Amino acid sequence: MRRLLVFILAMLPLLAGCWDQYAIEQLGFVTEVLVDGEPGHLKVVYRVVVPSKLPSSTNPGSPGNSTTVMGTGRDIYEATRQANLSSSKTLYMGQMQALLLSERYARSGGAQGALDFIVRGIRTRNIAWVVIVPDHQVDAVMSVVPTNAGYPAEALTDMSLNERREGRVPPIRVFQAINDLMSPGRDPAIPMLLAGPTGYRFEGTALFQRGRLVGTLDVKESTALGMLTYHVQQPTLTIPCNTHGTVSALVWQPYRRMSAIVRHGRLEGLAIRLKGALHVSGASLCPIDFADRQTGRTLRTVAASIIVHHSEEVLRRMQELHSDPLGFGDVLRATSPALWSQIAPHWNEVFAQLPIRVEVQLQPDGSGLLNGTVSE
């Protein structure tokens, strides 16, 4: 018995270890994943960074600090297996920062499969950014060498965070897109990504009906959508000044409230109310006195009318596409569950026919007032 106990104690140190450990030299750190093609004929491209070529305090880095690995297959899982077999290193998804979907793939209804692949992965990150790439831009986007970041995914992350604060498109992460897809009363809205001369650039937003891309918004419509969602924290606004010049402003602490107008058991319309503080951040060729209270009231009135006009335009576009990225359906489901159960199967068609009322209320923000005039 004593010998057995000694043997067990002697073997215990040999049993310690991690069953799934990998040597870091054997890993290929994936930062971006591009899915292109149509269900049944997919191409998946993985952008893998080369750590030794990344910039650091002692190394300025080099432009060729990433490489690509491609796999093809009937689905994203088969394509991933092929990519792993063709790679000299094991593809590691724990550092993934962006999921890129081609417009062709998204229109064919494949977005849900790609998002499902990311969520189910053991080492994948559901906080990665999601973007749509126009078909004619797929090769250009994967060839981008940014001049303002260490590697492409870092540039995309910086852009998304900037857009999150006060941008022209509402950025979205994987878990947010999954929530929108799973919600019966909300559709995803995903930014469009293009290749620019010095890196990436956003250009509009793709709207979905359930899991299928059905249309796009231009930059102006995307800016209005950003004001109507919580994905942009401080929407920017350009206000015309008299006959020439402009005033730049931010809408601080925007608050949104949506409601469904139900009377006698019938859904008669929808409403959205926006509140916030107008912060004047600058002006160009605008010789007016910003310290004057009447000027402040006039600016807020004009700004509110601009927001209402742009909001109504993007809402009409959403209804044309039968897409509800704001989640009016979720509001109806929460406030009138019995009525929602009747409408839910054909909500997108019902949504397209409803009148939508927009109200905007802007409060003054003291830090935006100036002691004199601003002119150039």
Question: Which residue shows structure tokens 């109310």?
Answer: 273
Q: Which of 54-63, 104-113, 299-308 has the lowest mean pLDDT?
A: 54-63
- Mark whether 79 and 135 lie in a shared domain: yes
Average of per-residue pLDDT values in the chain: 84
376 band by pLDDT with thresholds 50, 70 and 90? very low
Give the mean pLDDT of 72-82. Answer: 91
Residues in the chain, overall count: 376
Say if residue 194 is in the same domain as residue 272.
no
Query: Residue 249: which domain range?
Result: 234-376
Model confidence at 13: pLDDT above 70: no
| Domain assignment of residue 3, yes or no | no
Residues 256 and 205 in one domain: no
DSSP letter for 62, please: -
- Does residue 103 belong to any structural domain of this protein? yes
Q: Are residues 172 and 269 in the same domain?
A: no
In this model, does residue 371 exceed pLDDT 50?
no
- Answer whether residue 87 is part of any domain: yes
Q: How far is CA 159 from CA 167, 232, 342, in A?
A: 9, 13, 42
Look up the CATH number of the domain holding residue 286. Answer: 3.30.300.210
Our count of domains for the chain comes to 2
For the stretch 226-242, pLDDT in tens is: 888 866 777 778 888 76
Between CA 134 and CA 112 the distance in angstroms is: 18
Same domain, yes or no: 44 and 186: yes
Give the residue-averaged pLDDT of 256-281.
90
Claim to verify: residue 32 and residue 82 sit in the same structural domain? yes
Residue 203 domain flag = yes
φ/ψ bin of 109: left (φ > 0), alpha (ψ from -120 to 50), beta (otherwise): left
3-state DSSP assignment of residue 220? helix
Q: Cα Rg for the chain, rounded, in angstroms?
A: 25
For the cut 90, the answer to whether the pLDDT of residue 333 exceeds it is: yes
Residues 212 and 283 in one domain: no
pLDDT, one tens digit per residue, over 24-68 is 777 888 899 999 998 889 999 999 887 766 655 445 445 567 788
The answer, yes or no, to whether residue 349 has pLDDT greater than 80, is yes
Answer whether residue 227 is part of any domain. Answer: no
